[in-house]
Amino acid sequence: MIKPKDVHVDDPLLMEYVEGGLPWEEIISLEHHLEGCDRCRIKVERLRALERALIEPVLETPPASLYQQILNKAVKRRITLEELFLSLSLGFVSIFSILAYMVSRYGGTYLTHFLFHHLNISFMLKNGVRNLNRLTLLGEKLMQKFSIEGPGTPGSLLGFSGTLLLLLAVLAGLIFFNKRLITGYQKNEKK
Amino acid sequence: MELLVVNYQKGLFNYFLKNLSDRELSAELTQEVFLKVFTKLKTYDFHFKFSTWVYSLAHNLLVDFFRKKKNLTFTSFSNKEDSSPDFPELNTVTREDTLIQEETSEKVWNAVESLPETYRELLIMRYVNELKYEEIAQILGIPMGTLKNKIFRAKQKLVETVGEHDKT
């Protein structure tokens, strides 16, 4: 309810009235007040004039190159992320290859013995190594089953080569996948 | 991604341009907003309107920019300004009232650019970016009542500024 004529309407309420944001019952009440209040009416006129001028701002068109620059930066950043992913994959594959080589060359038990006894590792890691030990023992049993002689022999070298080939295939797949992504972005960029 | 750039680049560019009056800098900051949008997209809260989120990123960049520049005229939103005087007593239509009715939009917007940053940004968000009061309040993190008061004071200040521009 709008206040009596000897009390003036709050400024934000007048602003909402001019901007058309008041409910109809408040509009009726306010317009009734405005009929008898010069001060509020002048404020409303002033706000209306300002509103008319503000409502249509002169907007400038961004530089033509901006659109392309934004997309280029986004693509560049995306490629950087892909490159990071590729590097991490490569690192993972390398570490895995070295471990596979050590397992095949010296035997899983030797490796886990080395890690377990010569490195002062935490309890969690010890448990992890125990599990790794179990896995390598299982691997060695499997190798024996398929007539692969054991660690450090031509048979194990063959197993290591197979592992390495598999990892190289995974790596090639990753590179291909990344290249496809990059090419896709470059095509979008050209469009 | 392209659609996002098409929809927001003009609004963001004009947001910075009206605030900073520097085309090159505005283009640079617009690019930065988009980079932030792309990288922080996962953190976007779906409870808010997307435009609110985009403009809050733009607002933060602008505040950072002013902080870096150590622009002393830029003040953060506090309740201090609420103690500023109300409209002067108006028994008759003043010179400013007559003048503002004759002003073109261009002149008024030139006057907006010379307002203090806090007032200027509010009017830009409201009229250039066409954000609702709720959205602006969310972006600035201030209550609706405070925001409405501030916008009113910004308009009041603008009337005075337009009058001063015309006198000179």
Rg of chain A, C-alpha, whole Å: 38
A127/B contact by beta carbon, under 8 A:
no
Name, in order, each residue with C-beta under 8 angstroms of B30's C-beta and a sequence gap of 6 or more.
A62, A66, A70, B9, B12, B13, B16
Residues of A in contact with B7 (CB under 8 A): none
Question: ∠B68-B73-B79 over CA atoms, to 5°?
Answer: 105
- Is pLDDT above 50 for B40? yes
Instruction: For residues B119 and B114, give the distance between their C-alpha atoms in angstroms, rounded to a whole number.
Output: 10
Fold of B2-69: Rna Polymerase Sigma Factor; Chain: A (1.10.1740)
pLDDT digits (tens, 9 = 90+) for A124-149: 555 666 666 666 666 666 666 655 55
Confidence of residue B14 (pLDDT cuts 50, 70, 90): very high
User: What would the mean pLDDT of A55-66 be, rounded to a whole number?
Assistant: 85
- Is pLDDT above 50 for A11? yes
- Is pLDDT above 80 for A63? yes
pLDDT digits (tens, 9 = 90+) for B89-142: 433 445 455 455 555 788 888 888 888 888 999 999 999 999 999 999 999 999
Distance from CA of A25 to the nearest CA of B (A): 20
Name, in order, each residue with C-beta under 8 angstroms of B34's C-beta and a sequence gap of 6 or more.
A70, A73, A74, B4, B5, B8, B9, B12
Identify the architecture of domain B84-167 in CATH. Answer: Orthogonal Bundle (1.10)
Same fold: B2-69 with B84-167: no
Q: What are phi and psi of B52, to 5 degrees?
A: -60, -45
Q: For chain B, give every domain's residue range.
A: 2-69, 84-167
Other Cβ atoms less than 10 A from the Cβ of A98: the count is 10
- Is pLDDT above 80 for B30? yes
Among the residue ranges B19-28, B87-96, B136-145, the one predicted with the least confidence is B87-96
Residue A99 DSSP label: H
Residues of B in contact with A63 (CB under 8 A): 23, 27
Q: Which of A19, A58, A80 to mutate to test the interface with B (most CBs of B within 10 A)?
A: A58
Q: Which of B8, B12, B14 to mutate to test the interface with A (most CBs of A within 10 A)?
A: B14
Among the residue ranges A58-72, A153-167, B10-24, B142-156, the one predicted with the least confidence is A153-167
| Closest residue on chain B to A48 (Cα) | B101
